[in-house]
Amino acid sequence: MLTTHTLTKHTLSRWIIQIVLFACLVLPTLADGPSWPQFHGPNQDNKSPDTGLLDQWPEGGPELIWSAKGLGYGYSSVSIADGRIFTSGNIDDKTVVTALAADGHILWQKPNGPAWNEPVG
């Protein structure tokens, strides 16, 4: 009986440790900044949950913070998740998916099938 009771306490302690560890790993990712994980945004309504934005743009538009080259051409939108920017474009005869860091430098590019060169619309 004492062994069973000790085993139960041990098992319970392991479960508590696993739950706490899981919460420590998952909860910080839920608290990250807002994402734009799909076309038209998080709620597919083209509305950003960001706050503190300008009421009026400066004349000539906002300052360009960064730009990226080597992404190809095409009609892709961007998705933002986990601090990375994802997009795709045609490079040569392939469609390429690209991941960029928040500062605009390319993290990786992977081919994703043949390039789409047909008219749109």
CA distance 110 to 96: 5
92 lies in a domain? yes
Radius of gyration of the chain (CA): 23
Cβ–Cβ under 8 Å, residues 117 and 107: no
In sequence order, which residues have a C-beta less than 8 Å from that of residue 40 and are 6 or more positions away?
46
Does residue 121 sit in the same domain as residue 74?
yes
55 lies in a domain? no
Residue with tokens 């743009």: 57
Mean pLDDT score of the chain: 77
pLDDT in the model for residue 113: 92
118 lies in a domain? yes
Question: Sign of dihedral through CA atoms 18, 23, 26, 29?
Answer: negative
Task: Kindly indicate the confidence band of residue 26, based on its pLDDT and cuts at 50, 70 and 90.
Answer: very low
What are φ and ψ of residue 86, in 5° steps? -120, 135
Domain coverage including residue 111? 34-41+69-121
91 lies in a domain? yes
Displacement of CA 100 from its chain's centroid (Å): 10
Q: How many domains does the chain have?
A: 2
Pair of tokens at residue 65: 């913070």
> Is the pLDDT reported for residue 1 higher than 60?
no
pTM: 0.59
In this prediction, residues 77-91 reach a mean pLDDT of: 90
